[in-house]
Amino acid sequence: MFDALRRWREQRVLRASSLPDALWREALDALPFLAIHTEAELARLRDKVVLFLNGKGIVGAGGHEVTPLERTIIALQACVLILELDFTLYDDFENVIVYPGEFVPGWEWEDEAGVVHRNDDALAGEAMPGGPVVLSWPDVAASADWDAAQMNLVIHEFAHKIDMVDGDANGCPPMPEGLRGEWQRALHVAYEDFVARVDAGEDTAIDPYAAEAAGEFFAVLSEVFFAEPALLLDEYPDVYRAFARFYRQDPAARAF
């Protein structure tokens, strides 16, 4: 029933709203890694972007004013992850907050001994559990072109957001039971291997930041999965296959 209601609402939004062609083209041009999508996929992506922009606020903070193009570029990348998944994965937040540069979250947390810590490190992006995704615009812009940056901030943070739907960002997002065993085996083996390679000082093609934690491994490898799928297929084929089942996409097949 809820599904039917949601679909009805989505159809109503899609009939009532649209994205100007010029804006859509300009946003696609800013994200060259999306060129591997088929026209049919791009059309579905565009519908998702309309729904995203309708349902979420993308708001400036710290004096930053978000332009329509910036808004579209952010929404487009957020929707790449859920192109074949349900929008409910993004139900637990209302807003994306965009700063004019790196920001200091200033949040505090209490460790197991009851000591309160404060984080004063400047960040380019953050996905808050049960809260907004926070982004630095210059870092979004700098990572729009995968070939130049070899990273993608927006996909990274939204992968964390999906991971957090069932609790901590631990590299195991909510998924069908039938996939869980394959997922855990593939990611565990690959993560151990990757950490060992980074520890040994190897110059890895995948960002060594992925070795920080299982949650970062999932987020960084999700960037690679969407932006340079052949690399992930080459380095960790079992992870690629688990991701393809999870995201219900086969981006490496598009690339050839």
Q: Interface residues with Zn ion (CB under 5 A)? A: 216, 219
Distance in Å, CB of 204 to Zn ion, minimum:
17
> Would you say the C-alpha torsion 160, 161, 166, 167 has a positive or negative sign?
positive
Please give the Cα distance from 234 to 252 (Å, whole number).
Answer: 10
Q: Decide: 136 and 114 in contact? Cβ < 8 Å.
A: no
**Cβ 49 to Zn ion, closest distance in Å?**
23
Minimal CB distance to Zn ion: which residue?
219
Q: Of 216 and 228, which has the nearer Cβ to Zn ion?
A: 216
> What torsion do the CA atoms of 136, 142, 146, 149 make, to the nearest 10 degrees?
-110
Q: How far is the CB of 82 from Zn ion (least distance, A)?
A: 18
In angstroms, the Cα distances linking 2 to 8, 42, 167, 182, 215 are: 10, 27, 23, 30, 31
- Supply the minimum distance, in Å, between the C-beta of residue 15 and Zn ion: 37
Q: Is 42 helix (H, G, I), strand (E, B) or coil?
A: helix
Residue 181 half-sphere exposure, CB side, CA atoms within 13 Å? 2
| Residue number, 24 or 243, with CB nearest to Zn ion | 243
- Please report how close the Cβ of residue 24 comes to Zn ion at its closest, in angstroms: 28
Closest CB to Zn ion among residues 56, 161: 161
**Burial of residue 68, with CB atoms counted within 10 A of its CB: 0-12 exposed, 13-18 middle, 19 or more buried:** middle
* Residue whose CB is less far from Zn ion, 51 or 219: 219
Task: Give the residue with the Cβ less far from Zn ion, 46 or 156.
Answer: 156
